[in-house]
């Protein structure tokens, strides 16, 4: 089913076209019409099935643009997901006049978020803790809200956000349409739906196979800075008719396409700086061509639907496992065999592990041929080509062509023998031994192990010299170690690697924090909510004002400004 069949504003259809989205996914096809009809929805769908657009499209359609107040609220478990969903809303509403999105999450200055709300944002995307904080301060008003969406609901409940979610939804104060999306449907999810939804439509989309069985996945680990050379060797080896090469950045697309053009390859490129008209021309040319390569970013490659791509190369390892699945899914279509090659450096190990966990399938680690092996391979290719050409000439009793006469004739007239001319011609195609190049493979295990050990030692040293932060919530408040860790990382934005030993007592908890991160943690967590309780935070044995005054002045300017105003009065 196509998006253009939906009763949407022209600007939304225009945005979907610009995003190269034409066909609805199963979750979109089931959820969007129900939500456009005003029904509450509870949907079970895995990540990567298009569920963001399943709620974003009907939400955007329902917005009254002239009303500069929050009308749509979307809650998500992490800041990363919130940023991603807010970005999708901005792309979807790119042709709307005066439609704004406010992004609320911990670890960012409060005044920046306050400015977005005061500017009249109609769409609010946030994490439960920071959203509730804005409600408590009176900076977020839900009086005009007409839709609330809980995305990744099961993950939010697992992270201890149930009380925050209930508190937020209870403060709406009037009937609103709700949509709840979750990968699983445990009892707490169903209880939440029963509490806040009105006769919801239940939608379930079975998880699809992550990677088609006909796609062979190969992994090549190369030395830093050697990926361009590795790419050239792989294209020489596999000599596929149509190759799609993915890069993470526009700059990489430009560098790769330029290198391949210099090597005589038939190459086109696509990235975000290429306008829609040129994009369509490039895709049309690549679709019609019998062979060639297209170098593209993930965003630019959206909408590519070509059945005869026999090779996908991940020049850069995608950070998002879903993008990996989307990339390699463009080969091995219609029952054909497909091949995907991924080039990685040692630093990509973390992303590779995420991809293999997500797809539940390991890539086969292969070795790029050395320079000497590549030379031997080219010799074999040349020998086979010469055998074929010689056999053709003999069978046809063919006389030299005019072009051949123009090349060979002058050389013979200059006194060069047939043997010398033959050797000179061969050198045009086969590199000399000293030009063969070195081995460019890297050992991901040994190099990465050294980096991991160094990182662990550095982390251990930081935490050994860390400080203990006290938080005014403990066992009596139903708080566990995971709640403290979630509050610290969620509000301050620091990594869990910067948090050491956590102890939970009756009425308070403590956590060891790396010294350089402790002031930020105290300021971010102080006044936040843990398991529904507003907490205070301080560095053990010190008065927080003395220790953190410098950080507050630079990081919380709006508070300092208010204090100065009072003093001047």
CB 140 within 8 A of CB 131: yes
Same-domain status, 390 and 478: no
Largest CA distance in the chain: 106
Q: How far is CA 234 from CA 249, 368, 474, 513, in A?
A: 21, 7, 58, 47
In a domain, 460, yes or no: no
Alpha helix segments (H runs only) across 74-211: 79-92, 110-118, 128-137, 153-158, 162-170, 187-196
Report the distance separating Cα 212 and Cα 337, nearest Å: 9
CATH number of the domain that 350 lies in?
3.40.50.300
- Averaged pLDDT, 220-230: 91
What residues have CB less than 8 Å from 536, skipping those under 6 apart?
471, 472, 526, 527
> What CATH number corresponds to the domain at position 495?
3.30.70.330
pLDDT at res. 104: 94
How far apart, in whole angstroms, are the C-alpha atoms of residue 269 and residue 285?
A: 11
The model's pLDDT over 151-207, given as tens digits with 9 standing for 90+, comes to: 988 878 877 889 999 999 999 989 999 999 987 777 888 899 999 999 999 998 865
Give, as one character, the DSSP assignment of residue 207: P
Q: Tens digits of per-residue pLDDT, 278-329?
A: 877 888 888 888 888 999 988 667 656 677 788 999 999 988 787 888 889 8
Same structural domain, 351 and 475: no
Last residue of a domain, one of 204, 230, 251: 204
364 located within any domain: yes
- Going by their DSSP bridges, the two strands 338-344 and 215-221 should be labelled as parallel
Q: Is residue 210 part of a domain?
A: no
Whole-number mean pLDDT of the chain? 83
- Is 31 within 8 Å of 55 (Cβ atoms)? yes
In a domain, 419, yes or no: yes
* pLDDT single digits (tens) 437-485: 567 888 654 444 555 566 667 667 777 778 899 999 999 888 888 889 8
pTM of the full predicted structure?
0.47
How far apart (Å, rounded) are the C-alpha atoms in residues 230 and 441? 9
Does a structural domain hold residue 459? no
């Amino acid at each position: 089913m196509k998006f253009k069949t939906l009763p949407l504003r022209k600007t939304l259809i225009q945005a979907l076209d610009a995003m190269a989205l034409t066909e609805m996914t199963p979750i979109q096809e089931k959820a969007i019409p129900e939500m456009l009809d005003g029904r509450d929805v509870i949907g079970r769908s895995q990540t990567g099935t298009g569920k963001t657009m399943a709620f974003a499209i009907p939400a955007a359609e329902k917005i009254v643009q002239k009303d500069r107040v929050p009308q749509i609220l979307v809650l998500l478990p992490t800041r990363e997901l919130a940023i991603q969903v807010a970005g999708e809303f901005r792309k979807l509403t790119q042709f709307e006049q005066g439609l704004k999105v406010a992004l609320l999450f911990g670890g960012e200055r409060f005044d920046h978020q306050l400015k977005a709300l005061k500017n009249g944002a109609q769409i609010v995307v946030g994490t439960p803790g920071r959203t509730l904080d804005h409600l408590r301060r009176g900076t977020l008003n839900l009086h005009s809200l007409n839709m609330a969406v809980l995305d990744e609901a099961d993950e939010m409940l697992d992270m201890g956000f149930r009380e925050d979610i209930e508190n937020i939804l209870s403060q709406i104060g009037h009937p609103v349409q709700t949509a709840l999306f979750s990968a699983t449907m445990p009892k707490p999810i169903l209880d939440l739906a029963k509490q806040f939804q009105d006769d919801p439509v239940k939608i379930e989309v079975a998880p699809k196979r992550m990677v088609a069985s006909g796609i062979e996945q190969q992994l090549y680990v190369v030395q830093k800075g050697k990926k361009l050379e590795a790419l050239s060797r792989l294209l020489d080896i596999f000599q596929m008719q149509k190759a799609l090469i993915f890069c993470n950045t526009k700059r990489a697309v430009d560098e790769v396409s330029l290198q391949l053009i210099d090597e005589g390859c038939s190459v086109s490129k696509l990235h975000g700086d290429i306008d829609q008209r040129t994009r369509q021309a490039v895709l049309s040319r690549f679709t019609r061509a019998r062979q060639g390569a297209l170098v593209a970013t993930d965003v630019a490659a959206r909408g590519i639907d070509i059945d005869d791509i026999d090779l996908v190369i991940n020049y850069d390892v995608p950070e998002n496992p879903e993008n990996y699945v989307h990339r390699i899914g463009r080969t091995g279509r219609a029952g054909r065999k497909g091949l995907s090659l991924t080039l990685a450096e040692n630093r990509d190990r973390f992303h590779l592990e995420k991809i293999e966990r997500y797809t539940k399938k390991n890539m086969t680690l292969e070795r790029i041929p050395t320079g000497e092996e590549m030379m031997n391979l080219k010799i074999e290719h040349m020998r086979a080509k010469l055998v074929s050409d010689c056999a053709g000439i003999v069978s046809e009793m063919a006389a030299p062509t005019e072009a051949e006469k123009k090349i060979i004739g002058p050389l013979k007239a200059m006194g060069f023998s047939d043997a010398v001319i033959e050797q000179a011609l061969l050198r045009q195609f086969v590199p000399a031994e000293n030009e063969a190049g070195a081995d460019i493979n890297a050992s991901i295990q040994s190099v990465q192990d050294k980096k991991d050990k160094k990182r662990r030692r550095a982390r251990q040293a930081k935490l050994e010299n860390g400080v203990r932060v006290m938080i005014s919530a403990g066992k009596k408040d139903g708080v566990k170690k995971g709640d403290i860790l979630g509050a610290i990382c969620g509000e301050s934005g620091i990594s869990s690697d910067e948090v050491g030993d956590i102890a939970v007592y009756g009425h308070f908890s403590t956590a060891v924090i790396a010294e350089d991160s402790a002031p930020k943690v105290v300021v971010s967590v102080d006044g936040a909510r843990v398991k529904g309780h507003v907490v205070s935070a301080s560095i053990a044995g010190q008065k927080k004002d003395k220790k953190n005054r410098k950080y507050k002045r630079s990081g919380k300017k709006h508070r300092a400004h208010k204090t100065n105003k009072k003093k001047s009065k």
